[in-house]
A and B are shown apart, each in its own frame.
Chain A
Amino acid sequence: MKLLVICRRELHAYFGSIVAYVLLAVFLVLSGYFFYSDLIFFVLFGGFTMATGLWQFVFLDMRLVAMLILPLVTMRLFAEERKLGTMELLWTYPVRDGEIVLGKFLAAWLFFVAMLLPTAIGPLVFHHFQPFAVPPVLAGYLGMLLLGSAFIACGLFVSSLTENQVVSAMVTYGIIVLFWFLTWNEEVASYELMRWLLGISLFDRFFQFSRGVIDTQDVVFFILFISFFLFLTWQSLATRSWRGVR
């Protein structure tokens, strides 16, 4: 499987440089800090349920950290290869463009999973001392995986457009933040438009997961969103036929 060969090389590139460890460390410190402060808040002020009193805040905070970190994870995927010129070589190997796209996506996704796993330590320790209902937490993690994958697919696409990693990261931030604020102007938007915007808003879709609710519609939306950006990435690689190799 060429896809796995590509994925393995990408992971090697991640963990062969200091960047991966810095990103991991920042993600873990921030999400650990948020878990701690959200827990203190819940203990002091309480709430009716853990789902709306604690987990919702934990996952909404973790979402922000993921938003901050993931564009930095995806920015190099294609931009670096374009810059180095290695993209050109990749195209001469007997490998399909689709395998290249999926291999790189899988690598960034596994990196994200590696980032996410240690964040379970806090809740696990908490569960040891104070058992609680686990399913809402699992729903939250599923939401994180889907949201993160959506960020990654978007970042992968942007990275395929440029050879500049800073541009790659900034444009990804732009797109993600736009999706975040899309539904914030309910005062000026019509009801119909608002309903439509809510439908495509990544963050409103994520909100349900953070409260422990898994809605099939939301899952399908994320899968469509991810597929759409992977498709765009695949198309973007084909532009070399008129754009040249850069």
Chain B
Amino acid sequence: MISAEHLTKHFGAFTAIEDVSFEVARGEIVGFLGPNGAGKSTTMRILAGVFPPSLGRVRIDGQDMVADALRARALVGYFPERAALYVEMTVAHYLTYVGEMKGLRRAAARRDAAAAMANCSLEPVAGRLIGTLSKGFRQRVGIAQALVGAPRVLILDEPTAGLDPEQVADMRALIRGLRAERTVILSTHILSEVEATCDRVIIIHRGRVLALDTPANLTRRVRRGAQIVVEVVGPAEAVAAVLRAESGVIAVDVQAPAADGGARLIVSTDAERDLRTALAAAVARHGWGLRELRPNIITLEDIFLTLVADDPPAPTASTRHETAGHLSA
């Protein structure tokens, strides 16, 4: 549905993104993940047709975003990082205007606006001026704006930024609800967001794609095997030695001992079987107290930090400077 081929974008001497390629299939929700200034917004702007790439091309359902700009843009709904809206318009009036800009006739635009408002729970504020709305409502108006005209592709740049936890949950539910009929790319620097909503993750760092996979595959890729966290009241080194002797244990890593004499150990296992019962038995055999025993879930955060740490600074990185940062931010 979305195909990005070798996208590169320069702003003067500053390279915002370099050789970014990926495909997104119909109905997929893909998360775009990266630290601030990694090139997320630049990529999304190119995908939405705000400006063309310096090199490479974008196709939306086969339509080239530069050569067939009007047809390609008609397929895309975009939510910009800054939820920029006309503050002097009412919500209903604004969404109708957006529908007309997307090529709908007045009556159809009104119907679409009403549908988008229903979708984003905006009916209570339909007649309010956008300038008087709270941040959460404005954000939803921005999403509704993207939904008007029923675009097949949605490109959402940090849709949950600046929302309170309850609003974030609502927004995620809304995005998940779109899955059936739409293809969605959303960017974020909040990892739990990607885990909560996305089928696949694209990790971007310093303008380049570091990884592109499902969250599960990424987890597997970063660490083979599984880890178990064990907290024991007993001599740390002795406990480590005992646990190391268990079959299936690859390594035992002793964390700083707790103030009350407890020892915290991270046990790496081969993941063939669940060693928790064996470990518990070993600890009990020596008369130590077992305080905690749980599998160490690898989060996207760990994956992200590992990948970013492994990424050597690219030669082009030297051309990046702070003043140009706002272009890609």
- Using a CB–CB distance below 8 Å, which chain A residues touch chain B? 2, 5-6, 9, 12-13, 16-17, 84-86, 88-96, 240-246
Contact = CB atoms under 8 A, between A and B. Distances in A.
A49 to B, nearest CB: 48
Interface of B: 10-12, 45, 48-52, 69-71, 73-74, 76, 78, 80, 82, 84-89, 93, 97-98, 100-103, 145, 326-327
Nearest to A91: B50
B87 A94 contact: no
Contacts of A90: 101
The winner among A6, A85, A88, A89 for most chain B CB atoms within 10 A is: A89
6 contacts: A13-B88, A85-B80, A85-B82, A88-B82, A94-B103, A96-B70
A241 B46 CA distance: 10
Nearest to B157: A88
A94 B71 contact: yes
Contacts of A96: 70
A6 B84 CA distance: 17
Contacts of B48: 92
B67 to A, nearest CB: 14
B198 to A, nearest CB: 22
Contact of A94 (B70, B85, B145, B327): B70
B50 to A, nearest CB: 5
A85 to B, nearest CB: 3
B151 to A, nearest CB: 10
A184 to B, nearest CB: 40
B101 A95 contact: yes
Contacts of B101: 2, 5-6, 90, 93-95
Contact of A86 (B52, B73, B74, B86): B86
B281 to A, nearest CB: 61
A88 B102 contact: no
A92 B49 contact: yes
A241 B51 contact: yes
B73 A88 contact: no
B327 A244 contact: yes
B80 A16 contact: no
Given A92-B76, A94-B74, A94-B103, A85 B50 contact: no
A5 B100 contact: yes
Q: Which 3 A-B pairs have the closest CB atoms?
A: A85-B84, A94-B74, A85-B82
Contacts of B326: 244, 246
A13 B73 CA distance: 25
Contacts of B97: 5, 9
A92 B12 contact: no
Contacts of B45: 88, 245
Contact of A12 (B70, B73, B80, B89): B89
